[in-house]
Amino acid sequence: MKLRQIELVLAVAKFGSFSRAASELYISQPNISSSISALEEELGYDIFIRSSQGVALTNEGDLFLRHSTNIMKEIAGMRNIASGKLHRKFTINTSLNHTLINQAFSKLCVAFEEGDSANFTLQSSNSTQIVEDLYLGKIDLGVFIINKITLDTYQNTLSKKGLELEVFGRLNLNLTIGKHHPLLEEENFEFNKLSQYPHVSYSFNTISDFPDIYAMGLVNPEKMLVVNDINVRHQIITSTNAFGIGCDIHPKTRIIDKIVSIPIPDTEAFLVISYQTKQEKREELAIFKKFLKDEYLKLSQ
């Protein structure tokens, strides 16, 4: 396998066809095709499915692309060593699309904005995917909110994967609704009536993270609204009778004056972080942990 072959695979995946990649790279299409075919023969699997409409990645090709992307990023970092520049790369994956995470990440970016080079990423996923990505080295830090059962499981298993687990503290699981919601007009809030209204959630949240919430019957699976963006979720909650389930409200939440947050009885959650043991002395990790702790403490103010 040669570095040039990896570069050609990335180009074909980016442009969606051999001909387009050849045009952009100013080389002939047969050269690209033969080079990638030789790589596929060496690997023992097809990277692309060829058709008259272009190309598509196979399942194996998708995994190859992920590893190739990481390899090229590391190579870019190694090349920066000769120039004397420090290239910082730090990827955080979180299951908690919350203001406290966004605030801590923003402060991390500010802390290193004067550096030579930085590639910081904040993305979202469920806890299971986060653990897998940490183990494979695709991300540097996982931040998630989990229940007691999942916490006990992770405390017993993650160390065997070479992963550290730190508990920042408990979080209240709260119902979030707009101040106009009809259930607020009643003298006592009736949680059993929530199933009459749509539940708005994120696409990366899964029932497996909090099965107890769904077992309580608060969420009607026939009335689900799924979004990816925190602002869209906020807009839906403040303009409709839909409700969300999350944790304590951060004082910097943009819609804090338009919503009501009600603790859900008999529930508990934990804010935890995880990272590879060999990464524990990284400067970016230490600084982000400090910022996250600062933001977490604001939830109780």
pLDDT, one tens digit per residue, over 242-295 is 999 888 777 777 667 888 888 888 888 899 999 999 888 889 999 999 999 999
- What is the distance between the alpha carbons of residues 154 and 41, in angstroms, rounded to a whole number? 40
Split at pLDDT 50, 70, 90, the class of 241 is very high
Biggest CA–CA distance in the chain, Å, is 75
pLDDT of residue 182: 93
- What is the distance between the alpha carbons of residues 4 and 39, in angstroms, rounded to a whole number? 10
The pTM of this model reads 0.67
- In tens, the pLDDT along 98-116 reads 888 999 999 999 998 876 6
Give yes or no for a contact between 125 and 203, defined as CB atoms under 8 angstroms apart: no
3-78, CATH topology level: Arc Repressor Mutant, subunit A (1.10.10)
Residue 264 carries which side chain, given as an amino acid letter? I
Torsion region of 169: left, alpha or beta (phi above 0 gives left; psi -120 to 50 gives alpha): left
pLDDT of residue 72: 83
- What is the distance between the alpha carbons of residues 261 and 251, in angstroms, rounded to a whole number? 12
Average pLDDT over residues 51-56: 86
Q: Give percent of the chain above pLDDT 70.
A: 91
Query: Whole-number mean pLDDT of the chain?
Result: 86
- CATH superfamily of the 86-170+270-298 domain: Periplasmic binding protein-like II (3.40.190.10)
Q: 220-255: string of b/e by CB count within 10 Å (b at 16+)?
A: eeeeebebeebeebbebbbebebbbbbbbbbeebeb
Tell me the range of 125-129, 198-202, 238-242 where mean pLDDT is highest: 238-242
Phi then psi for residue 100, to 5 deg, are: -65, -35
The yes-or-no answer to whether 86-170+270-298 and 173-267 have a common fold is yes
- What are the tokens at 16? 């969606």
Strands 87-94 and 117-124: parallel
pLDDT of residue 171: 85
Q: Give residue limits of the domains in the chain.
A: 3-78, 86-170+270-298, 173-267
pLDDT at 301 over 60: no
pLDDT of residue 76: 73
- What are the tokens at 270? 């934990």
Give yes or no for a contact between 90 and 120, defined as CB atoms under 8 angstroms apart: yes
- In tens, the pLDDT along 135-164 reads 888 899 999 888 888 899 999 999 998 999
DSSP for the chain reads --HHHHHHHHHHHHHSSHHHHHHHHTS-HHHHHHHHHHHHHHHTS-SEEEETTEEEE-HHHHHHHHHHHHHHHHHHHHHHHHTT--EEEEEEEES---HHHHHHHHHHHHHTTTSSEEEEEEEE--HHHHHHHHHHTS-SEEEEEE-HHHHHHHHHHGGGGTEEEEEEEEE--EEEEETT-GGGGSSS--GGGGGGS-EEEETT--GGG-HHHHHTT-S-TTSEEEES-HHHHHHHHHHSS-BEEE-PPPTT-TTTTTEEEEEPTT--EEEEEEEEGGGTT-HHHHHHHHHHHHHHHHTT-
Which CATH architecture fits 173-267? 3-Layer(aba) Sandwich (3.40)
